Amino acid sequence: MSKKIPLGLSLAITLVAIAAAVAITMTASMKIYNSLIKDLPGRSQMYAKLAEIDDLVRSEFYGKIDEDYLEHLLAQGYISGTGDSYSRYMTADEYISYYNEIAGKMSGIGIRPSLDKETGYIVAQEVYEDSPAAAAGISKGDKISVIDGEKVDSSNYQQMVSKLEGDKLTSVSVTFIQSATGQRLTASISKGFTTRSVSHSKLGTIGYIRITDFYKNTAEQFKDAINKLKSDNVTGLIIDVRNNSKGEIKYAAEVIDVLVPLATEGTGAIATAINAAGETIEVYSADSENVNLPIVVLVNENSEGGAELLACDLRDYGKAQIVGATTGGKGTLQQVFRLDDGSAVLLTVAEIKPYISDSFNEKGVTPDYTVELNLANPDDLWLLKPEDDAQYQKAYALLTEN
C-alpha cells in the first residue's frame, strides 16, 4: 500500500532537484566558458588597447585606410607576436600555394635558384626531374641571364627569381647559358608541375638517395628508389637530408617506416607529438617491413624537422650512423587551421618525441662523425661533385671500409 507524500515535502524535493540541476549546469557551463575564454582580463586589456588605437587612427590619420591590408597585417602581427618562427598566417591564396606544395604540386618552372656572385645571374643549383625547366633543356649549373627580355643582375635578382615562380597556365621566356657547352639558348617555359622530392644514384656498390623535402608523395618516391637500388645489388645506402627543412612530420614518418621494423622500445612509435598540456595528440607508427642494409645519413645545420627525425630515429633503431654537422633543432609539430574567409594559420601545437632519444627541439641532432664543409652559400652544396664533398666522402668510406 502506497503512502501519499505531503505537498510541502514534494515541493521541497522538487526545489532541491532543480537547484542541483542548476548547480551542475552552472559548473559545467563555467568550465566550458573558462576553456573558451582563456585569460579574459589579459584579452580584454589587449582588445581595449587595439580599439583605442583604431579610434585614434580613424579620427586623426591623414590618409585612406586599406581595410583588407590592415586586416591582413593585424592577423600576421598576432601570429608573429607568439615569437614562434614556425607559426605563420597565410592569406587564402598563400594557403592554396602551401597546400599544393605539401601535396607535391609545385608552382614555377622547377629549379632551385641561387645567385652567381660574379655575373649576378641566376644559377640552377638544382633542376627538378620532370619539371618544365628540365623539359626545356636547363640542367644543374646552368645560368639564367635574361627573363622576359630583361637582363638578370645582382640588383634585380629577387625580382627576376619571382618571375620564375607562379601558378600553372602561365609561361615565361628564359635565356640560359649551358654550363657544359657555354651555349646560350632561349625557351618559353610553362609553370607548374608535380615535383620529385627524391632522387637516387649509385657509385660502386653504394646507393645514394637524396630527399629534398617531405611531401605527400615523398614516401612513394622513396620506396621506388629503394627498390631500384636493391635490384641493382647495392651493399649500403647514403641518405642525404642536408638542407631539408620543408614538409610535414607525418610524411617523414612514412619514409622512416619504409626502413624500420615495428617500434617496440621507447614510446613504442616512430614518433609521438605531445602538446603543452603533456597530452599525446599524435602517434606515428611503423609496420613490420624494413630494409636490411647499412645506412649513413648526411645532415647539416639546415636539416630541420622531418630530416632530424629521420636521422635520429634511424640511429635509435641501430640502423644508421650520422655524418655532417649538428642539425637545426626544429622538433615541433605544426598544424594548419582554416579560417572562415579561406585564409589559414600554421600553428605550432606540439613537441616531437623521437623513438628512443630525448627531444631534439632547440638542440639539434649531433652527428656521429662531424665533418664541416664551410660553404659561402648553403645552396652551393648541390653544385659540389661527389669527390669535392667531404661529408659524402666520409659516408662512402664508412660503408665501403666496413
78-104 burial: b if 16+ Cβ within 10 Å, else e: ebeeeeeeebbbbbeeebebeebbbeb
Residue 21 lies in a domain: no
Residue 95 lies in a domain: no
Q: Are residues 211 and 352 in the same domain?
A: yes
Q: Are residues 236 and 321 in the same domain?
A: yes
173 has a pLDDT exceeding 50: yes
Residues 206-260 have pLDDT tens digits of 999 999 999 999 999 999 999 999 999 999 999 999 999 999 999 999 999 999 9
Burial degree of 76 (CB within 10 A; 0-12, 13-18, 19+): middle
The whole-model pTM stands at 0.76
Q: What is the DSSP letter of 129?
A: T
Q: Are residues 246 and 298 in the same domain?
A: yes
State the Cα–Cα distance between residues 226 and 228, nearest whole angstrom.
Answer: 6
361-375 burial: b if 16+ Cβ within 10 Å, else e: eeebbebeeebebee
Q: Are residues 312 and 354 in the same domain?
A: yes
| Inter-residue contact 93 to 99 (CB < 8 Å) | no
Residue 51 lies in a domain: no
Residue 202 lies in a domain: yes
**Residue 143 sits in which domain range?**
108-194
182-218 burial: b if 16+ Cβ within 10 Å, else e: eeeeebebbbbbebbbbbbeeeeebbbbbbbbbbbbb
402 has a pLDDT exceeding 70: no
Q: Are residues 160 and 303 in the same domain?
A: no
Q: What is the pLDDT of residue 36?
A: 47
pLDDT-derived band at 333 (thresholds 50, 70, 90) equals very high
Cα distances (angstroms) measured from residue 155 to each of 118, 120, 161, 184, 200 = 13, 8, 12, 22, 36
| CATH number assigned to the domain comprising residue 153 | 2.30.42.10
| Inter-residue contact 183 to 177 (CB < 8 Å) | yes
Q: What is the pLDDT of residue 168?
A: 57
Task: Give ∠ CA 57-62-64 in degrees, rounded to 5.
Answer: 80
Q: Are residues 265 and 219 in the same domain?
A: yes
What is the share, in percent, of the chain residues with pLDDT greater than 90? 62
Residue 91 lies in a domain: no
Q: Are residues 202 and 297 in the same domain?
A: yes
Residue 230 lies in a domain: yes
List residues bridging with 238 in a β-sheet. 208, 296
Cα distances (angstroms) measured from residue 238 to each of 137, 183, 215, 324, 347 = 28, 34, 20, 12, 33
pLDDT-derived band at 383 (thresholds 50, 70, 90) equals confident
Residue 213 lies in a domain: yes
Domain final residue, candidates 194, 212, 239: 194
Q: For the chain, percent helix, then strand, then coil, each to nearest 5?
A: 35, 25, 40
| Inter-residue contact 352 to 359 (CB < 8 Å) | yes
Residues 49-102 have pLDDT tens digits of 888 998 999 999 998 999 988 989 999 999 999 999 999 999 998 898 888 889
Tally of structural domains, the chain: 2
Report the chain's mean pLDDT, rounded to a whole number: 88
Cα distances (angstroms) measured from residue 332 to each of 328, 337, 362 = 12, 16, 9
Q: Are residues 377 and 260 in the same domain?
A: yes
Q: Are residues 374 and 274 in the same domain?
A: yes
Q: How are beta strands 198-203 and 206-211 bridged, if at all?
A: antiparallel
Residue 79 lies in a domain: no
| CATH number assigned to the domain comprising residue 347 | 3.90.226.10
Q: Are residues 149 and 272 in the same domain?
A: no
State the Cα–Cα distance between residues 358 and 212, nearest whole angstrom.
Answer: 25
Domain final residue, candidates 194, 209, 230: 194
List residues bridging with 194 in a β-sheet. 105
Of the two residues 369 and 37, the one the predictor is more confident about is 369
328 has a pLDDT exceeding 90: yes
Domain final residue, candidates 194, 218, 244: 194
Q: Are residues 285 and 397 in the same domain?
A: yes
Q: Are residues 186 and 250 in the same domain?
A: no
The grid coordinates listed for 179 are 654550363
The grid coordinates listed for 225 are 628508389
